[in-house]
């Protein structure tokens, strides 16, 4: 790191759990963020400001006026622009040292395998189960740590699924694809603006801890947040040995 970088990241470097060595780990790391909306905005901004060397953003949507209530990486001047291009501009203003790969596309399973394979950590900031299931499958197959976040109305949740550890459940263990989990889009249900900032920031925190190999992760735990009543609780998760994606009995 040069003198300017040492100054930029000095508040990280002062932390004994990070230091210069840890900051160098972040600079050498590659994070994949699927979704450049409410969750992806704060996640990408904090990963960029923290000095993660390469960020890949993948989203096929464009910025519209309704996004600006909560998707803080975008600006009024970005309306009509691809979200990943809008985010790339904002992130460059935060930290020009970070390499941002902006992919204006909806990745299929084969493409996700390619993108996940290039990353050190994966953040699911999408808004639909189909993407989450496909991303989870790719992370299980390639043994990549997967930070999951979701938010609707006043309720949010965060979990880490790290298949580098045999005891870790996967996303499918929590929400089996055959389950009756409802797809709740914020366009229909609404979402409290600060909620996505909090959940996305928690995803960034877990991703940084994974890259730094510090602290206690939300692996095997689901953190549930209710901002309307300002309550947080943690639910323990167990690996489903019969899981079709990560179970020991799968063929």
State the pLDDT at residue 181. Answer: 53
- Domain 3-236: CATH superfamily is NAD(P)-binding Rossmann-like Domain (3.40.50.720)
Q: How far apart are CA 86 and CA 77, in angstroms?
A: 9
State the pLDDT at residue 179. Answer: 54
Q: Which of 112, 125, 145, 165 is nearest to 211 (CA)?
A: 145
pTM above 0.85, yes or no: yes
State the pLDDT at residue 39. Answer: 98
Spatial contact of 20 and 13, defined as CB atoms under 8 Å apart: yes
State the pLDDT at residue 185. Answer: 60
State the pLDDT at residue 180. Answer: 53
How do the pLDDT tens digits run along the chain, 251 residues long? 899 999 999 999 999 999 999 999 999 999 999 999 999 999 999 999 999 999 999 999 999 999 999 999 999 999 999 999 999 999 999 999 999 999 999 999 999 999 999 999 999 999 888 999 999 999 999 999 999 999 999 999 999 999 898 889 999 999 888 655 555 565 678 999 999 999 999 999 999 999 999 999 999 999 999 999 999 999 999 999 989 899 875 54
State the pLDDT at residue 248. Answer: 72
Count Cβ neighbours within 10 Å for each residue of 61-74 and write b for 16 or more, e otherwise: bbbeeebeebbbbb
Spatial contact of 199 and 149, defined as CB atoms under 8 Å apart: yes
The β-bridge partners of 103 are: 58
Q: Strand, coil or helix: what is 128?
A: coil
Q: How far apart are CA 17 and CA 141, in angstroms?
A: 31
Strand ranges in 16-154 using DSSP code E only, listed in sequence order: 30-34, 54-58, 99-103, 121-124, 146-152
State the pLDDT at residue 251. Answer: 46
The domain spans of the chain are 3-236
Positive/negative CA dihedral, 98, 99, 105, 110: negative
State the pLDDT at residue 189. Answer: 81
């Amino acid at each position: 790191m040069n003198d300017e970088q040492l100054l930029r990241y000095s508040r990280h470097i002062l932390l004994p759990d990070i230091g210069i060595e840890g900051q160098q780990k972040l600079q050498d790391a590659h994070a994949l963020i699927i979704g450049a909306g409410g969750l992806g905005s704060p996640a990408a901004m904090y990963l960029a400001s923290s000095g993660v060397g390469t960020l890949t953003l993948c989203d096929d949507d464009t910025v519209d006026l309704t996004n600006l209530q909560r998707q803080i990486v975008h600006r009024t001047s970005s309306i009509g622009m691809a979200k990943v291009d809008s985010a790339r501009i904002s992130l460059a203003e935060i930290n020009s040292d970070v390499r941002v790969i902006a992919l204006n596309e909806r990745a299929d399973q084969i493409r996700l395998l390619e993108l996940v394979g290039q990353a050190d950590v994966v953040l699911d900031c999408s808004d639909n189960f189909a993407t989450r299931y496909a991303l989870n499958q790719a992370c299980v197959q390639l043994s990549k740590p997967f930070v999951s976040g979701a938010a609707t109305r006043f309720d949010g949740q965060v979990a880490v699924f790290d298949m580098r550890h045999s005891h870790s459940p996967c996303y499918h263990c929590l929400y089996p694809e055959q389950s009756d989990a409802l797809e709740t889009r914020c366009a229909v249900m609404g979402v409290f603006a600060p909620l996505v900032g909090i959940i996305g920031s928690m995803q960034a925190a877990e991703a940084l801890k994974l890259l730094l190999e510090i602290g206690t992760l939300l692996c095997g735990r689901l953190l549930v947040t209710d901002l309307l009543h300002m309550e947080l609780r943690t639910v323990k998760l167990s690996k489903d040995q019969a899981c079709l994606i990560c179970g020991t009995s799968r063929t």
